[in-house]
């Protein structure tokens, strides 16, 4: 993967907050011309440093106001079934994030739903479709304190 310089880092810091900002405005902030910024953006998109540019929307308007954090235990034996699980997950729109972790549970998922009833349906389906999952510990999110995907760009 291509190396990035000081200007790239600054640009990444900006577009992680607002990727619709005009190249000229970014240029003013980082001390570069609009052309140079555009070139760098194109290079970072093409090389995969920028993996996606997405809109965040109001969950209530989308009809999925609730969030749940599910800790899951899986059977050690067939934990190679993860690849199949991955394929299955890609199609599950309500399951936003899944992490394979160390600790008291094996997987942690962040799931969005209309209400508790719908969450129940989702987890019931999750367990029936993926028998390697033995147990689910649920935390209901009462309040989003901070939500983001921002990653600091180290110098």
Partner DNA sequence: CCTGAAAAGAACTTTCT
Partner DNA sequence: AGAAAGTTCTTTTCAGG
Least Cβ distance, residue 62 to its own copies (angstroms): 5
DSSP 81: G
Question: Does 44 engage in binding with DNA (CB under 7 A)?
Answer: no
Residue 37: CB atoms within 10 Å? 25
Using a 10 angstrom Cβ sphere, with 0-12 exposed, 13-18 middle and 19 or more buried, the burial of residue 41 is: buried
Q: Which of 18, 28, 29, 42 binds DNA (CB under 7 A)?
A: 42
Q: Which of 33, 35, 78, 97 binds its own copies (CB under 8 A)?
A: 97
83 phi and psi, to 5 degrees?
A: -65, -40
Residues 124-153 that bind its own copies (CB under 8 A): 137-153
Residue 39: CB atoms within 10 Å? 13
Q: Which of 27, 40, 112, 132 binds its own copies (CB under 8 A)?
A: 112
Q: What is the CA radius of gyration of the chain?
A: 20
Of 52 and 145, which has the nearer Cβ to DNA?
52
User: Under the rule (CB under 8 A), what is the footprint of its own copies?
Assistant: 1, 4, 12, 15-20, 48-64, 67, 69, 82, 85-86, 89-90, 93-105, 107-108, 112, 114, 137-154
């Amino acid at each position: 993967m291509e190396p990035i310089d000081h200007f790239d880092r600054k640009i990444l810091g900006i577009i992680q907050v607002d990727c619709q900002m005009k190249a000229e405005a970014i240029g003013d902030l980082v001390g570069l011309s609009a052309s140079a910024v555009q070139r760098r953006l194109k290079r970072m998109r093409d090389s995969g440093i920028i993996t996606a540019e997405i809109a965040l929307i109001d969950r209530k308007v989308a009809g999925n106001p609730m969030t749940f954090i599910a800790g899951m235990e899986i059977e050690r034996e067939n934990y190679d079934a993860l690849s199949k699980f991955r394929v299955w997950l890609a199609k599950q729109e309500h399951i936003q994030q899944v992490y394979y972790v160390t600790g008291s549970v094996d997987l942690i998922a962040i799931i969005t739903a209309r209400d508790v009833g719908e969450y129940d349906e989702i987890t019931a389906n999750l367990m029936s479709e993926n028998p390697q999952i033995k147990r689910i510990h649920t935390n209901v999110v009462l309040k989003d304190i901070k939500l983001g995907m921002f990653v600091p760009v180290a110098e």
